[in-house]
Amino acid sequence: MSSTASRIIETMERPPAPARQWTGQRIAGHVFMGFWVLAALGLATFLAGAWDSELFARYAPNYVSGLIVTIQLVLISILLGALLSAPIAYARTSRNKFLAWPAYAYVYFFRGTPLLAQTFLIYYGLGSFRPQLEALGLWTFFREAWYCAVLAFTLNTAAYQAEILRGAVQSVPRGQWEGAASLGLHRFQTLQKIILPQALIVALRPYGNEIILMIKGSAIVAIITVYDLMGETRRAYSRTFDFQTYIWAAVIYLAIVETLRNIIDWIERRITRHLKR
């Protein structure tokens, strides 16, 4: 088989790769990389030098409990937000004005105002309507800062996730819908088996970004007395006035985001295998 091919097409050596030049860009790249490596080394030496086992013993358990609060809060909100985002994205693309407009207004409000303000309004704002909430039997829910935080974060992320989902579904060419229709597939089947698998490839990166933004955004939750990683950091700082409390928090946040980035990379490699050439 190969001999037939080589008779028709003359065998050729691949041309040698051109020697890489030391361009200004490449030098600048190395300089910047060196700078970052030095900064990281400097930070590591500082943390090693400032190591205080008494401080660690006293505040490490607080950091762990704060970290658990942060992760729980983001995980629950992202999952509930994902559930909520599907009907919102559907309503947003609907031709029915009575569905499309409320969905648009919802997304407009939650993307257009700060998460801090939303959290504050839900906890302290609704808290001032206690008699009305009690009449509706909702006070047991709104009484707890934790539930208020989950609610605020869920509503916020649902708006963003709905837009991610809508954009991804609309990015799939119309021909895919038409092709499925010509095969006699039901609309829901088309969505489930043809459109969503393609849309989710587009949506994966924005979803990853949204989770990362939520992790960092969750640092405001201490204003409603839920002590997350950032809240515990502030508390430790207020007792010690030692800046390494903040550096440790930054390192932990960085570690979470880096782990997440690797997971998303891994998922992307798996779901785009058929696109590799």
Partner 1 sequence: MRISSRVSLALSAAALALTIGAAQAQEKLRIGTEGAYPPFNNLTADGQLVGFDIDIANALCEEMKVECEFVTQDWDGIIPALQANRFDAIIASMSITDERKKQVDFTNKYYNTPPAIVAPKDTDIAGVSAEDLAGKTIGVQGSTTHSNYSEATYTDSDVKLYPTADEYKLDLINGRIDAANDDVTVLEEWLATEDGACCKIVGTITPVEEIHGPGAGIAIRQGEDELRERFNAAIDAIRANGKYKEINDKYFSFDAYGS
Give residues in contact with partner 1 (CB under 8 A).
124, 127-128, 130, 143, 145, 222-223, 225, 227, 231, 234-235, 237-241
As a whole number of Å, the end-to-end CA separation of the chain is 23
Query: Which CB atom, from 151 or from 164, has the smaller least distance to partner 1?
Result: 151
Cα dihedral sign for 86, 89, 93, 99? positive
Minimum Å gap between C-beta 93 and partner 1 is: 40
Query: Which CB atom, from 90 or from 120, has the smaller least distance to partner 1?
Result: 120
Minimum Å gap between C-beta 156 and partner 1 is: 20
Query: Which CB atom, from 125 or from 173, has the smaller least distance to partner 1?
Result: 125
Burial, 149: exposed, middle or buried (Cβ in 10 Å; 0-12, 13-18, 19+)?
A: buried
> Nearest CA to 133 among 153, 154, 117, 147?
147
> Nearest CA to 226 among 66, 29, 75, 81?
66
The helix (H) or strand (E) run that includes residue 261 is helix 244-271
Burial, 133: exposed, middle or buried (Cβ in 10 Å; 0-12, 13-18, 19+)?
A: middle
7 Cβ partners below 8 Å, 6+ apart? none
Minimum Å gap between C-beta 133 and partner 1 is: 9
Query: Which CB atom, from 91 or from 226, has the smaller least distance to partner 1?
Result: 226
CA dihedral 134, 137, 138, 144 (to 10 degrees): 80
Query: Which CB atom, from 85 or from 244, has the smaller least distance to partner 1?
Result: 244
Minimum Å gap between C-beta 263 and partner 1 is: 33
Query: Which CB atom, from 130 or from 269, has the smaller least distance to partner 1?
Result: 130
Minimum Å gap between C-beta 119 and partner 1 is: 12
Minimum Å gap between C-beta 128 and partner 1 is: 6
